[in-house]
Structure 1
Amino acid sequence: MIFVQLFFLAVNAIMPMPNSIIQGYQTARISSICQVKFFSNQEFPDHVIQLLLHYHELITQDEDCEFEESIQNTNIKIEGALKFEISIENYEQLYWVTSTKEEAYELQIDENLNVKIQAKNHWGLARALDTVNQLAINNEIQNLPIQISDEPQYVHRGIMIDTARNYLPVKLIKRTIDALVINKLNVLHWHITDDESFPLLLSKYSQITNNSKFWKDGFFTKKDVQEIIEYASIRAVQIIPEIDTPAHVHSWGISPDLQSIVITCDTNIRQYGQLDPTLDQTYEVLTSILQDLNDMFDKVQFIHFGGDEASNQCFEQKPSIKEFMNQHGISNYFDLQVYYRKKQKDIWKNQIKSKKKIIYWYNKNDQLPADQDDIIQWWGLSSQLSEVKGRSNQFILSDYHPLYLDTGVGNAFGDRYDRYQAWKDVYKWRPSIPRNFEGTILGGESLLWGETNNQNTHFQKLFLRSSILADTLWNPDQKQDELFPKFTKRLSDMEDRMNKYGFPVSPFTHSYCKRQLDLCFPELYSTKLKLFFMFVLFYSI
């Protein structure tokens, strides 16, 4: 049976690849596609019904099928129809998960298309439904019966989008969530604001939004935010909002009444700004914005405070800052940033009394203190983690190479900006943890900064490179023994799948190579010999 398992593993093109899959030899035709059934021994709550509706639409995409009939406990033995028997331990609607076991699932499909799913909650159910949808290629399922036991390696698997440099409409953000789900990604990190704009409508300081938005309706309301969070939760994706300070805040000071709290850094285009951390008004505005953030994003686990790239030269431009530092015993600009961060945290934890954990950007040059419960998003290289001393925090990896998806296509001013990170670069990357590293890796994110991205380029830049990251973070051991042409077959099928569902992703190769994967992608054939000896070993047993 072990040999059967390994042999048929080469047939499937599931992405990400499940941890354990045992398969047979038979094929069943899905001849009654509109007769798909979802049933359980408990009544489905609304959020599960919405998730089932989403996958019903994917499974029956080219057909005019009624969803209501699919959740009725009648005619559940129709030949040629998918029949889902769903068992969930916890029917509570979750907005995030804290362990990989919460996304684990058990899946069985027999020769009569009876599908049994066992999961802890609707997040695990979403992962199982996606696996079945991938198996049901061209209205048939091969290699039946199938038994899958699956669980991701990392709990945090996501992407970051940027709505400050170019506004992205709510509809596009929802479509992005749909794209995450079919890749088994579970985090949408939302970099909402930056120097260029503040497209989140505030309750008290709405002038910040109105004076920095790019067009009349180019902003998000509280209703928009809560709609996005709900939409994501149903599809087993968590939202992480980011409001970056004390740098990246030029947009805060465009209004005449707020100009004093922002230092416009001395550049030709006068685009970059930092908060003046010495003014009472700075903290009055900050408190109001953080209160809005906590209220709008009441159903999220984390808040990202940014915290990177503050410039000493920018602080130098305002003599009153130096005077304040002398009066308060602040010896340098590093300590000034520590002062600001402590004040910001005091507002968040003691005034607003938020329980949401905080995420900060860090690389090897960042030495600002982090509390034990702070989460570090690492935008250096994983190889540099060996230089991180005394930090036992949880880490999210976003290696500058290769997980910055905007590099290599020029910056906002038409100048060269680093080198392009190709899909093979992402394929070669995997979490690599030095021996002396004291922290814990939650997972990773690919980052799509928005200087040269808008709704016309969005999906081409995100995918398929983020699909490869999803594959790595779900099952990083898969690529160790997988023949490279087999991986490219899985990638090719993911490209076709995303195109089928209306996502204009960037092709990973041309059509000739898609038909000749063995010829175009011969790398890693050395692994073939290893698999051959594995087969011989199992045969001999």
Structure 2
Amino acid sequence: MMFLLLSLLLTVGEANFNILPVVPFPQEAEMISTVRRSLHVEEFKITTDKLREDKVISSTISRYERYFERFERGPASPDGYVTEVSVTVADPTAQLKIGVDESYTLNINPLSPVVKLAAKTRFGVVRGLETFYQLYNITDGTFPSVKIKDYPRFTYRGFLIDTSRHFLPVDTIEKVITGLAMSKFNVLHWHIVDDPSFPYYSPTFPSLAEKGAYDMNHVYRISDILQVISYAEDHGIVVVPEFDTPGHTLSWGKGLENFLTHCPGVGTFGGDYGPINPSVEANYQVLQKLLAEVTSLFPSGFIHLGGDEVPFNCWAANQELVAWMKKQGIQNFNDLESYYEERLLDIVHHLNTSYVVWEEIFNNNLQIQPDTIIHVWKDKWQATMGKVIKAGYKTILSSPWYLNYISFSRDWKTYYQVEPLKIPGATAEELNLVIGGEACMWGEYVDATNILSRTFPRASAVAERLWSSEKRTNVADMEFRLDKHRCGMCARDIPAETIILRSYCPVEFSGYDHW
């Protein structure tokens, strides 16, 4: 009877607070006993046959062993202690990419000191050990007896950072990645350059950063990029860079002559320059060389090409460009943008990489290739996504998940109640084209001082929507689990903000001096 009651609590009846405070909640969780086993910190270890020297496995094991080191041994238990997690991986050669198998099973047996964690790939181990950590009750030092079978609902579960408006040091980006892994995100969308600054230091075009960055202390060199990519891989996270064009490129023009459209008084922010000038043939050579460098550096197999908010008024004010359009038979500025995007996508196509664009590329009826992924960010997202998938394109949702917009009280509840597949009139086949979503933290008022507390645990509400079953929608249950998850993040030196009017963490955030 007890077994049946516990199973019902986990699979059907979400009216009660969940006895497994895990975020995102697993796809399947079955309580096998009411017995709880204590943790023997001094003897605890994570073991794996043949894979201890693997970079991802070794760093993950070391990380989670370190997480448990700060706790004391649990109370003596007649059923004994948990002393070991035994890890097995079916395919240890699978490489990190969007869509890699992240599934795992976890078995905490009340009759054994050894916890069994089995995964298809190394990245399932990363996800499974996070669940194991969250199952630990900080207050009494015990684990529940449970069997878990888990896998993500969507293959793309992203988070955007913006390092142009405000620079983020590498160690801050790594802290963001650490927090993202705690909620099972798998993509870091790095909006690395924009109008305000060009912090990417390109060996091919060094003048872009030398003249376009805030200063040379605020740039990412190749070694910094590789460090971030390597760190992200150890956390099961793919880094997707964004080089947004033809708009949002004011910082590019400082280091490249004739790259931007000259339009005195009507350019970006009322200045003299606007988007890339599509009539200058040399500009496409610059783009080809730069993007070839970028795609060879980032192993994700994806690049985000932007394409949003292109100000046509600057193009219209440049008479040389308008005359060139007439010679080319280009009738209007939508067609001019389409000309530019066709040239750009042809460049990227030959670089053998997948690409994402903001929704304007689709909304403006530009000619795009069938494998283009449309990133939806504006209002009325259901209607837009409906049109995108009916046209046969894959899509990613961000519209309701702009975390840089903050409000008093618990805005995470609004994020949590979004259902990405609630698209009227869409067929099951069309809905398969919704590959996931992305929370965004734009940098207008965000830098290293506040990005972590502003992101976590609010982003975790989005993470659960993208990982867990669509049936898991009880806000009260999520609030209980999210509060526990927030404390678990604080215990691991992530300054996640509180989400409840009155509460406390058994292990409080220990302060920035530990970083």
- Please tell me the TM-score bracket, short chain as reference: 0.7 to 0.9
Q: Which residue of structure 2 aligns with residue 103 of structure 1?
A: 102
Deviations 1:372-414 (A, max 9, x none): 1111111134322334475211111111xx31122358xxxxx
Any stretches of 5+ residues in structure 2 without a counterpart? 12-17, 74-78, 507-515
Select 1:469's aligned residue among 462, 473, 477.
462
Q: Distance in 2 between matches of 1:272 and 1:378?
A: 27
Alignment partners' CA distance in 1, 2:364 and 2:83: 53
Inter-partner Cα distance in structure 2 for 1:203 and 1:383: 42
Which amino acid in the other structure matches residue 109 of structure 1? Answer: I
Equivalent of residue 502 in structure 2, options 507, 511, 514: 511
How far residue 457 of structure 1 moved from its aligned partner, in angstroms, is: 1.4
Structure 1 letter corresponding to 2:358:
W
Change (3 A) 1:277 1:215: same
The aligned runs of 1:196-345 (5 Å cut-off) are 196-255=196-255, 258-263=257-262, 265-266=266-267, 270=271, 273-297=274-298, 299-345=299-345
Task: Please name the residue that 1:123 is paired with.
Answer: 123
Deviations 1:480-506 (A, max 9, x none): 4x3x43221101111211222122223
2:423 to 433, 446, 449: 433
Higher helix share: 1
Deviation string 1:194-238 (CA, Å, 9 cap, x unpaired) is: 011111111232111111222332111111111211111111111
Match of 2:487 in 1: 496
Distance 1:327 1:8 in 2: 67
Structure 1 268/446 Cα, relative in aligned 2: closer, same or farther at 3 Å? closer
In the alignment, structure 1 residue 18 sits paired with structure 2 residue 8: no
CA distance in 2, matches of 1:389, 1:509: 38
1:60 partnered with 2:69 = yes
Task: Measure, in 2, the Cα distance between the counterparts of 1:204 and 1:143.
Answer: 55
Aligned to 1:518: none
Partner of 1:7: 9
* AA aligned opposite 1:510: L
Provide closer, same or farther for how the CA distance between residues 57 and 478 of structure 1 changes in structure 2, counting only shifts above 3 A. Answer: farther
2-structure distance, mates of 1:11, 1:436: 36
- Name the residue aligned to 2:371: 373
| Contact 1:105–1:124 (CA under 8 A) maintained in structure 2 | yes
Cα drift, residue 477 of structure 1:
2.6
Match of 1:452 among 430, 445, 451: 445
| Pair 1:212–1:62, CA change in 2 (3 A) | farther
Q: Secondary structure at the match of 1:306?
A: coil
> Partners in 1 of 2:347 and 2:87 — Cα distance?
45
Sort the Cα spacing of 1:390 and 1:6 in 2 relative to 1 into closer, same or farther, 3 A.
closer
Q: Residue 244 of structure 1 aligns to a residue in which SS?
A: coil
Code of the residue aligned with 1:441 in structure 2: it is: V
Corresponding position of 2:511: none
Conserved? CA contact 1:89–1:120, under 8 Å = yes
TM-score in terms of structure 1 length: 0.83
Change (3 A) 1:118 1:97: farther
In structure 2, distance between residues paired with 1:502 and 1:309 = 38
The structure-2 alpha-carbon separation of the partners of 1:104 and 1:505, relative to structure 1 and needing over 3 Å to count, comes to same
Distance 2:504 2:69 in 1: 30
- Equivalenced residue count is 480
Q: Tell me the amino acid that sits aligned with residue 291 of structure 1.
A: A
CA distance, structure 2, for counterparts of residue 110 and residue 43 of structure 1: 24
For residues 47-75 of structure 1, the C-alpha deviation after alignment (integer angstroms, 9 at most, x for no partner) is 211111111122223579xxxxxxxxxxx
- 1:260 is displaced (CA, Å) by 4.9
Letter of the 1:435 partner, please give it.
G
SS of 1:33's partner is coil
Instruction: Give the C-alpha shift of residue 347 in structure 1.
Output: 2.3
Gaps of 5+ in 1: 65-77, 410-418, 516-541
What is the deviation of 1:133? 0.5
2:60 paired residue number: 51
Offset of 1:4 from its aligned partner? 2.6
Once the two structures are superposed, what CA deviation does each residue of 1:324-350 show, in whole Å capped at 9, x if it has no partner? 111111111111111111211222233
What do you get for the CA RMSD once the two structures are aligned?
2.6
Amino acid at match of 2:65: H
What amino acid maps onto 2:413 in structure 1? K
1:525 equivalent in structure 2: none
C-alpha contact 1:170 1:224 (8 A) present in aligned 2: yes
Q: Which moved more, 1:448-457 or 1:383-392?
A: 383-392
Say whether the 8 Å CA contact 2:200–2:219 is kept in structure 1. Answer: yes
Please give the alpha-carbon distance, in whole angstroms, between the structure 1 residues aligned to 2:403 and 2:159: 10
